[in-house]
Every structure is written in structure tokens, then in C-alpha cells.
Chain A
Amino acid sequence: DVKVTQSSRYLVKRTGEKVFLECVQDMDHENMFWYRQDPGLGLRLIYFSYDVKMKEKGDIPEGYSVSREKKERFSLILESASTNQTSMYLCASSLSPGFSNQPQHFGDGTRLSIL
């Protein structure tokens, strides 16, 4: 079974801090994704990556960056945290686009609060 592990379940940071959220998957998936989940808005894609060192902006990339130095690891970086980035952050992975009928596998999420 695919395992997607996010480094923290809960995180509290201060405004202006640089924040790192880490995600690791164990199934050699090419694609990895970062979403934020807010009530009534569903999941909104921040960034995704389809290969090592490759990244693409999603729908709401402003204020975020990502890093994918190894296939199994995809990091989300909040360059200078702001209170409107308080949210639940979900990491997901899936097989390559040749298998777009493959579902995404999600981590447990990181609930991030910016004070």
C-alpha cells in the first residue's frame, strides 16, 4: 500500500517566518502535489512536480515555493509566512501522466497555524 508521510500533523509558526513542510512517498511515484484544504473551498493546488527538479505552478502558488531534489521527497516552503496561510496542507502522489487514470494518494495533512 502506498504511504505518503508528512513530517508534522500540527505546526504553529509566527508571521514572517520561513516554514518548511516535508512530504515523502514510498512508491516511486513520478508525480507529487501540494494542496491546501479550506472549508467550503475544497482542495486547491499550490504546486506539483512530475519529475525530480521539475515543478509547475498550480492555482494558488503566490507566497509558496517547492523543492524536489529526490524522487521520493517534495517540500513546500512558505517564504515569509502570513496569517492568511493558516490552513490544512495536503501532500499527494500519483503515477506518471501516462496513467492519468491513477488516483492520487494522500498524506494525513499538516494543520498549519500562523500567529
Chain B
Amino acid sequence: AQSVSQHNHHVILSEAASLELGCNYSYGGTVNLFWYVQYPGQHLQLLLKYFSGDPLVKGIKGFEAEFIKSKFSFNLRKPSVQWSDTAEYFCAVILTGGFKTIFGAGTRLFVKA
């Protein structure tokens, strides 16, 4: 069965530190990839997405992610985090042409001011 693995369940960083959140998926076919973010008390919202083309995609608020097909990975990065980045981050995969999005377990990021 397809699955999405997020390597860290909890991450604690100080402001200005660099961030990398790992995401690996298990499906070998063509996929579309997403990162969603859920700020405290708010609904999930899209951070960025990859469908095709340049494997390095830019999202909102300075986030970026790199798709490495050979590693089945789609890691999220930000060079310098802010206190306002404190949130839960979810990696998600949908098979091209499919209905069903498969979510990872989520990573809770806490940024110390």
C-alpha cells in the first residue's frame, strides 16, 4: 500500500535556524506532491506543490521543497525560520489521475523566539 513517511514528529528550533523536514513516499508511479501547514487554531492550508518540471519548487512564506525522484523524497526547507512558523506540517501525495491523497503523520515545529 502507498504510504508517506515524515521522519520527525517534533522539531524545536530557535529563530533564524535553518529548517529541513523530511518526507518519503512509497509509490513508484507518477505522483503529485504537496506540503500543507496547519497553524495553531487554523485550518490546513497549502504551502507548496509539485506536479512536473523544475524539481525545486517555491511556496509561500519563503518555504521551498525539492523533489528527488530517485530517493522518493520531497523534503521541505526554509533557510531561516521565524517564530510565526510554529505549526504542524503535513506532506501529502496523490497519484496522478487519482482521487485519494495520502498524508504523512505530520511534523510539529516549534520555533523559540
Contact = CB atoms under 8 A, between A and B. Distances in A.
Contacts of B96: 100-101
A7 interface: no
Contacts of B51: 101
B105 A40 contact: yes
Interface in B96-113: 96-101, 103-106
Nearest to B33: A101
Given A100-B97, A103-B34, A109 B43 contact: yes
Given A40-B9, A103-B46, A107-B43, A48 B100 contact: yes
Contacts of B44: 90, 92, 104, 106
B84 interface: no
A79 interface: no
Given A40-B9, A41-B105, A106 B45 contact: yes
Interface residues of B, number: 26
B42 A108 contact: yes
A32 to B, nearest CB: 11
Contacts of A35: 103
| Most chain A CB within a 10 A radius of its CB, from B44, B46, B90 | B44
B5 to A, nearest CB: 10
B100 A42 contact: no
B109 to A, nearest CB: 15
- 4 smallest A-B Cβ distances: which pairs? A42-B105, A43-B103, A106-B44, A101-B51
Given A100-B98, A101-B96, 20 more contacts: A41-B105, A42-B6, A42-B103, A42-B106, A43-B103, A45-B100, A45-B101, A50-B99, A90-B43, A97-B97, A97-B98, A97-B99, A100-B94, A100-B95, A101-B32, A103-B34, A103-B36, A106-B36, A106-B43, A108-B42
